[in-house]
């Protein structure tokens, strides 16, 4: 089985959802407690949504200093697959593992509803099974999800293919920035998710784990989770098993 | 409130006697003395003042509440526990309860609402249930008023700020505007939890010698007198001096408290568990002891505090949030401390369970074997019973207002009594006005500020009828709703309460689910006013009558009195929460039309009576015109029919007719599906009654043409009128009116009312979708 770790910070509230979603996607999910340094031999790591440590100061700002995040950073540096969802994305951005920052939603209100996103690339570990380029419907639920970076960085991200997901309209066209309800938080260039330059660490604000079963109204998120699970499985089969100490071949 | 000074209960020199300053009447002071066999000291008096407050003691409502039916299939825990619990099979049970946080929300809307959510969640997980859903029923005054907008904004942010952070989805509720709530908004929050039946934990303190453990947040000076100052007195106005009485919520601490509490329960480490809400430590110690027939020795010095210099009475009655009281076996102390430490929660042994039935407060510490340490001082000693189950009960005087006109009894002649302002009425324009109105427009701008999908169980979220949560690992789903017909209650409180039960349960039944039980939050005025107490009495009678007729237990609830402001009392508002069980989620039926070509049927028949309807609000019809009647036998037959029809797979969609009447219900079926319909409605008495009247016991269903005969037979078998009214299809909603009421009489008067209602769905949807933001002055979009 493909062992994928889900980090549990105090205040994580999508940890069990993510464990469940990964199981639906065919993985053997494992909970990883924030105070532990070991990753318990997992083959990939997911940082789930929630309000880690309460997020009173700023989303993700304290979580990045937790013992487990040192190990996650080392795991990522060694090439391990890491996915951050919602608060997990915020933590990754605070930790500098993915570019950019998540600011307060432009409407200054928490927003919880379905959005449409598309995968900009279908050749990454996080999107290769997400299907042909088409709008994927899944919920967002956040108060700080406005993706921000300077123009130079945004240009570079687009040039290097690091923009992973964008908010779109029903016809697949890119959402606007301010004042377009299709872009729920006013993210620059309608960016919903990005990855690092190496392509092994990614974050997105929408919740694929909440759209992974037909009974919940959408299975569009399952492709994202399955991409991660299957990519992890393949890499393991090829003998690529990153550990905190480095990639073991 | 100031610290009880020396001088005893009689009060110090010349000023208001202490007991009165604390809200204790002279009679009550005597009754306290009777129970103690002596006069209380100041600390005891402060504790009694909180425990005998309306909020904690139900001293005005207890005799009424005893009349409610509490027995029912599968009831595991009923009134008197923190929440009602009903078995749902598969070794699982559902816990649910609704509670008010009205006055705190009026003073400080964000914290008032936030701590309202926190408090009701604790009632749920105290019982060993993981909270899986919140529904919030909110009522405010004029939505165009600046203060109302401030309150709406703060309350909505507070509900979201707390619920979103703790990771419990807000799946439903209400948002209603009525002038009667102008000075006194209502914030009622219902929470639902799921537990393994064997992990049911009760809030009792058994076993003398057991340790009493306080864990969670430290105790501070916030929320001093919340129950007595805020919740149990008539409200004057926005009074900044009352802000210190409002508690401050910390949802992060609550999240940790949920996880730690459930872990303690799952590992079998606690004998009893109680959350600290109104009345703080005083309430938690006395209630748990009284339930077990024990007493408790409490060492005040052991209570972790936020600040030095707190007076004993402050520690005892503080309503600091996110605290729990556990009763544990002495040998499990280390394990309990380990769990709390892992979740980062302070934890302290503050006392021992005793056998003498008294709550004894000491300062100066306890010995290892649980006796006051040498030199310790006894500060208070009160029988636990005297504080809780033997608290004072007041027999209040109830008398109806002189002008009250009772609604016609069931079976009374159903003559049209409506003063119809229908001359020249354009039914299409009325429908659009209703769809865009404050109480009927889409609540999406509010609901989307809540996380409604966390926990990945939400099958149907807020805004389109009852909420539906699947139960992982089973084929089952839980269905929940809140409802209250307060406007009718203002004319006839019995009818308002009975209608509320009928409508809430109907909302459950139209999904195919079977209602399991009822929780209620009774929001009323000052019980010492005979008219207000009459309203409460009548409403409780209506609640009981309706529940008995529908075969449902009342499993718990909450009473909020003194909901008055200088502008007057609120409408009697018996908020009803219902949870239902759907055995097979594949049978789940929604309100939206499903398939082009399906036939549309109306189950039940309209009866006259437009008063207190949304149409009446728009058209200015006086209450004297009378509300519609309710026949509970018909209601029961209707709900049985719709569940049976859904169970047999005969129903594609089902929507009940409620606020806004048939036309609004039909518009919802159409808007939510994107499918139009061509309908022809037979008008018996008046077009307004049939189109916009809110008479109960009606459901619009759609089904496949080949199932029509079976449906008609099934309806006949249940004794429920059924009429085929049209067909699903197209992109417009068309309602033609037929019958004598539509043509002859109306045309004779030169009315245009016989005109068909014919509108594109797109227009209905736009008006419905944008109405609330426009009325509240909120920006559209992000």
**Distance (Å, whole) CA A108 – CA B474:** 39
Residue among A11, A106, A112 minimizing CB distance to B451: A112
Task: Please identify every residue of A annotated as catalytic.
Answer: 86, 207, 209
pLDDT, tens digit (0-9, with 9 covering 90-100), for A177-212 = 888 999 999 999 999 999 999 999 999 999 999 999
Chain-chain contact of B164 with A112 (C-beta, under 8 angstroms) = yes
Residue among A105, A183, A209 minimizing CB distance to B456: A209
CATH number for the domain formed by residue range(s) A3-237 = 3.40.50.880
Question: What value does the mean pLDDT take over residues A148-162?
Answer: 97
- Among residues of chain B, what percentage have pLDDT more than 70? 89
- Residues of chain A with Cβ-Cβ distance to B781 below 8 Å are 107, 179-181
* Residue B55 falls in the annotated catalytic set: yes
Q: Which residue in chain B is spatially nearest to A20 when comparing CA positions?
A: B456
DSSP letter string over B279-318? THHHHHHHHHHHHHT-EEEEEGGGS-BSSTT--HHHHHH-
pLDDT, tens digit (0-9, with 9 covering 90-100), for B339-374 = 999 999 999 999 999 999 999 999 999 998 889 999
Residue among A112, A143, A215 minimizing CB distance to B459: A215
Put simply, whether A172 touches B (Cβ < 8 Å) is no
Chain-chain contact of B165 with A51 (C-beta, under 8 angstroms) = yes
Put simply, whether A180 touches B (Cβ < 8 Å) is yes
Predicted confidence (pLDDT) at residue B742 exceeds the cutoff of 60:
no
SS (H, E, C) B164-209: HHHCCCEEEEEEEECHHHCCCCEEEEEEEEEEEHHHCCCCCCCCCC
Across chain A, mean pLDDT equals 93
- Residues of chain B with Cβ-Cβ distance to A112 below 8 Å are 164, 448-453
Chain-chain contact of B472 with A20 (C-beta, under 8 angstroms) = yes
Put simply, whether A235 touches B (Cβ < 8 Å) is no
Q: Could you tell me the pLDDT band of residue B779, with boundaries at 50, 70 and 90?
A: low
Q: Which residue in chain B is spatially nearest to A183 when comparing CA positions?
A: B782
Put simply, whether A36 touches B (Cβ < 8 Å) is no
Q: Smallest CA–CA separation between A230 and chain B, in Å?
A: 22
Judge whether B466 and B480 are in contact, CB under 8 Å: yes
Mutate to test the interface with B, among A62, A104, A106, A110 (most CBs of B within 10 A): A110
| Bridge partners, residue B363, by sequence | B377
Each domain of chain A, given as residue ranges in start order, spans 3-237
Q: Which residue in chain A is spatially nearest to B451 when comparing CA positions?
A: A112
Put simply, whether B250 touches A (Cβ < 8 Å) is yes
Interface size, chain A vs chain B, as Cβ–Cβ contacts under 8 Å: 100
Chain-chain contact of B252 with A181 (C-beta, under 8 angstroms) = no
Chain-chain contact of A179 with B781 (C-beta, under 8 angstroms) = yes
Chain-chain contact of A17 with B455 (C-beta, under 8 angstroms) = yes
**Distance (Å, whole) CA B183 – CA B102:** 11
Chain-chain contact of B251 with A51 (C-beta, under 8 angstroms) = yes
Q: Smallest CA–CA separation between B637 and chain A, in Å?
A: 30
Q: Which residue has the tokens 């990753």?
A: A39
Judge whether B525 and B491 are in contact, CB under 8 Å: no
pLDDT, tens digit (0-9, with 9 covering 90-100), for A220-239 = 999 999 999 999 999 988 88
pLDDT, tens digit (0-9, with 9 covering 90-100), for B291-318 = 999 999 999 999 999 988 899 999 999 9
Residue among A16, A109, A210 minimizing CB distance to B449: A109
Put simply, whether A220 touches B (Cβ < 8 Å) is no
Residue among A21, A55, A185 minimizing CB distance to B782: A185
Q: Among the listed ranges B99-103, B264-268, B401-405, B458-462, which one has the minimum average pLDDT value? A: B401-405
Predicted confidence (pLDDT) at residue B686 exceeds the cutoff of 70:
yes
Predicted confidence (pLDDT) at residue A245 exceeds the cutoff of 60:
no
pLDDT, tens digit (0-9, with 9 covering 90-100), for B199-241 = 998 899 999 999 999 999 999 887 676 555 555 566 555 555 5
Residue among A143, A183, A210 minimizing CB distance to B453: A210
**Distance (Å, whole) CA A20 – CA B203:** 32
Chain-chain contact of B452 with A186 (C-beta, under 8 angstroms) = no
Predicted confidence (pLDDT) at residue B4 exceeds the cutoff of 80:
no
Q: What number of residues does chain B have?
A: 782
- Residues of chain B with Cβ-Cβ distance to A51 below 8 Å are 164-165, 251-252, 255
Rounded to two decimals, what is the model's pTM? 0.93
- Residues of chain B with Cβ-Cβ distance to A178 below 8 Å are 782
**Distance (Å, whole) CA A106 – CA A86:** 16
How many whole angstroms from its chain centre is CA A199?
A: 12
Across chain B, mean pLDDT equals 89
Q: How far is CA B113 from CA B109, B186, B442, B489, B521, in A?
A: 6, 10, 22, 25, 15
Q: Smallest CA–CA separation between A212 and chain B, in Å?
A: 9
Q: Smallest CA–CA separation between A160 and chain B, in Å?
A: 29
Question: What value does the mean pLDDT take over residues A94-112?
Answer: 95
Mutate to test the interface with B, among A11, A21, A103, A142 (most CBs of B within 10 A): A11
Q: DSSP state, B28?
A: H
Put simply, whether A137 touches B (Cβ < 8 Å) is no
Within 8 A by CB and 6+ apart from A169, the residues are A116, A135, A175, A182
Q: Give the pLDDT confidence score for residue B243 in this predicted structure.
A: 53
Stated as kind and residue range, the H or E segment containing B132 is: strand B130-140
- Residues of chain B with Cβ-Cβ distance to A11 below 8 Å are 165, 252, 255-256
Put simply, whether A17 touches B (Cβ < 8 Å) is yes
Residue among A105, A110, A184 minimizing CB distance to B164: A110
Q: Smallest CA–CA separation between B599 and chain A, in Å?
A: 25
Within 8 A by CB and 6+ apart from A228, the residues are A4, A25, A44, A46, A81, A83, A125, A126
Q: Could you tell me the pLDDT band of residue A137, with boundaries at 50, 70 and 90?
A: very high
**Distance (Å, whole) CA A139 – CA A221:** 9
Q: Which A residues in the span 85-114 are in contact with B, Cβ-Cβ below 8 Å?
A: 105-107, 109-113
Q: Which residue in chain B is spatially nearest to A181 when comparing CA positions?
A: B781
Instruction: Please tell me whether the interface predicted TM-score (ipTM) of this complex is above 0.90.
Output: yes
Chain-chain contact of B456 with A216 (C-beta, under 8 angstroms) = yes
Chain-chain contact of B782 with A107 (C-beta, under 8 angstroms) = yes
- Residues of chain B with Cβ-Cβ distance to A220 below 8 Å are none
Q: Residue B355: which of B414, B273, B296 has the closest Cα?
A: B296
Q: Could you tell me the pLDDT band of residue B22, with boundaries at 50, 70 and 90?
A: confident
Put simply, whether B448 touches A (Cβ < 8 Å) is yes
pLDDT, tens digit (0-9, with 9 covering 90-100), for B72-127 = 889 998 888 889 999 999 999 999 999 999 988 988 999 999 999 999 999 999 99
């Amino acid at each position: 089985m493909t062992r994928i770790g889900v980090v549990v910070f105090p205040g994580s509230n999508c940890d069990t959802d993510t464990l469940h979603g990964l199981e639906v996607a065919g993985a053997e999910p494992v909970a990883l407690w924030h105070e532990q340094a070991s990753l318990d031999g997992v083959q990939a790591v997911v940082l789930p949504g929630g309000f880690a440590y309460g997020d009173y100061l700023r989303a993700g700002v304290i979580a990045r200093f937790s013992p487990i995040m040192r190990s996650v950073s080392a795991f990522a540096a060694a090439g391990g697959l890491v996915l951050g969802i919602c608060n997990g994305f915020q933590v990754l951005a605070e930790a500098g593992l993915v570019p950019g920052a998540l600011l307060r939603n432009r409407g200054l209100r928490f927003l919880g509803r379905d959005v449409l996103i598309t995968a900009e690339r279908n050749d990454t570990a996080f999107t290769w099974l997400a299907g042909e380029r088409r709008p994927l419907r899944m919920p967002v639920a956040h108060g700080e999800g406005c993706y921000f970076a300077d123009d130079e960085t945004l240009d570079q991200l687009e040039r290097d293919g690091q923009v992973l997901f964008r908010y779109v309209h029903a016809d697949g066209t890119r959402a606007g920035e301010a004042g377009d309800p299709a872009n729920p938080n006013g993210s620059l260039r309608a960016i919903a998710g990005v990855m690092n330059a190496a392509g092994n660490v990614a974050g997105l604000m929408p919740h694929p784990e909440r759209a992974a079963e037909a009974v919940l109204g959408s299975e569009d998120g399952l492709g994202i989770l399955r991409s991660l699970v299957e990519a992890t499985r393949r890499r393991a089969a090829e003998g690529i098993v990153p550990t905190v100490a480095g990639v073991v071949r | 409130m100031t610290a009880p000074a020396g001088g005893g209960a009689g009060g110090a020199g010349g000023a208001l006697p202490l007991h009165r300053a604390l809200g204790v009447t002279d009679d009550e002071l005597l009754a306290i003395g009777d129970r103690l066999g002596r006069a209380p000291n100041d600390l005891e008096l402060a504790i009694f003042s909180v425990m005998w407050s309306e909020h904690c003691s139900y001293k005005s409502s207890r005799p009424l509440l005893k009349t409610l039916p509490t027995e029912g299939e599968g009831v595991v825990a009923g009134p008197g526990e923190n929440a009602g619990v009903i078995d749902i099979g598969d070794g699982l049970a559902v816990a649910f309860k609704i509670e008010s946080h009205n006055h705190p929300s009026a003073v400080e809307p964000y914290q008032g609402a936030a701590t309202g959510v926190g408090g009701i969640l604790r009632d749920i997980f105290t019982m060993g249930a993981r909270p899986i859903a919140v529904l919030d029923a909110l009522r405010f005054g004029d939505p165009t008023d600046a203060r109302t907008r401030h309150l709406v904004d703060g309350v909505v942010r507070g509900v979201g700020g707390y619920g979103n952070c703790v990771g419990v989805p807000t799946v439903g509720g209400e948002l209603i505007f009525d002038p009667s709530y102008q000075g006194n908004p209502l914030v009622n929050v219902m929470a639902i939890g799921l537990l393994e039946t064997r992990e049911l934990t009760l809030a009792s303190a058994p076993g003398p010698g057991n340790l009493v453990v306080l864990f969670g947040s430290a105790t501070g000076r916030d929320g001093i007198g919340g129950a007595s100052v805020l919740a149990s007195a008539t409200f004057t106005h926005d009074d900044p001096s009352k802000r210190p009485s409002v508690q401050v919520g910390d949802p992060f601490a609550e999240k940790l408290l949920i996880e730690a509490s459930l872990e303690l329960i799952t590992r079998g480490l606690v004998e009893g568990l109680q959350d600290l809400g109104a009345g703080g430590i005083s309430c938690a110690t006395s209630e748990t002891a009284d339930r077990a027939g024990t007493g408790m020795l409490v060492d005040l010095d052991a209570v972790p505090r936020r600040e030095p210099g707190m007076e004993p009475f402050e520690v005892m009655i503080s309503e600091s949030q996110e605290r729990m009281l556990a009763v544990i076996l002495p040998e499990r102390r280390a394990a309990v401390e380990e769990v709390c430490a892992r979740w980062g929660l302070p934890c302290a042994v503050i006392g021992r369970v005793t056998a003498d039935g008294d709550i004894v407060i000491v300062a100066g510490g306890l010995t290892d074997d649980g006796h006051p340490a040498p030199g310790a001082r006894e500060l208070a000693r009160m029988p636990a019973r005297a504080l809780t189950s033997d608290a004072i009960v007041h027999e209040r005087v109830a008398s109806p207002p002189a002008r009250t006109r009772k609604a016609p009894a069931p079976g009374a002649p159903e003559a049209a009594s409506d003063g119809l302002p229908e001359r020249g009425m354009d039914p299409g324009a009325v429908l659009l006005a209703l769809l865009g109105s404050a109480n009927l427009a889409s609540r999406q701008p509010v609901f989307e500020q809540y996380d409604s999908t966390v926990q990945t169980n939400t099958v149907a979220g807020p805004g389109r009828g009852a909420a539906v949560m699947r139960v992982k690992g089973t084929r089952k789903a839980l269905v929940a709703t809140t409802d209250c017909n307060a406007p009718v209650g203002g004319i006839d409180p019995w009818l308002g309460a009975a209608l509320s039960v009928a409508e809430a349960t109907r909302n459950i039944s139209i999904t195919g689910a079977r209602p399991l039980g009822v929780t209620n939050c009774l929001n009323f005025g000052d019980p010492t006013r005979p008219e207000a107490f009459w309203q409460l009495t009548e409403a409780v009678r209506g609640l009981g009558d309706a529940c008995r007729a529908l075969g449902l237990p009342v499993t718990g609830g909450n009473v909020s009195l003194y909901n008055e402001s200088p502008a007057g009392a609120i409408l009697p508002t018996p908020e009803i929460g219902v949870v239902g069980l759907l055995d097979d989620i594949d049978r789940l039926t929604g309100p939206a039309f499903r398939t082009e070509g399906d036939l549309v049927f109306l189950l039940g028949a309209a009866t006259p009576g437009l008063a207190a309807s949304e149409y009446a609000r728009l058209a200015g019809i006086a209450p004297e015109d009378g509300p519609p009647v309710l026949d509970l036998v018909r209601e029961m037959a209707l709900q049985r029919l719709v569940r049976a029809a859904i169970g047999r797979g005969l129903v594609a969609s089902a929507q009940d007719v409620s606020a806004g009447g048939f036309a609004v219900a039909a518009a919802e079926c159409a808007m939510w599906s994107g499918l139009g319909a061509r309908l022809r409605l037979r008008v018996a008495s008046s077009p307004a009654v049939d189109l916009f009247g809110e008479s109960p016991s009606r459901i619009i269903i759609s089904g496949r043409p080949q199932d029509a005969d079976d449906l008609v037979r099934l309806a006949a078998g249940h004794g429920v009128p059924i009429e085929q009214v049209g067909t699903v299809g197209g992109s417009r909603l068309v309602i033609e009116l037929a019958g004598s009421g539509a043509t002859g009489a109306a045309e004779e008067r030169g009315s245009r009312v016989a005109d068909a209602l014919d509108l594109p769905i797109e227009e209905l949807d736009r008006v419905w979708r944008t109405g609330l933001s426009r009325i509240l002055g909120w920006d559209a979009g992000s």
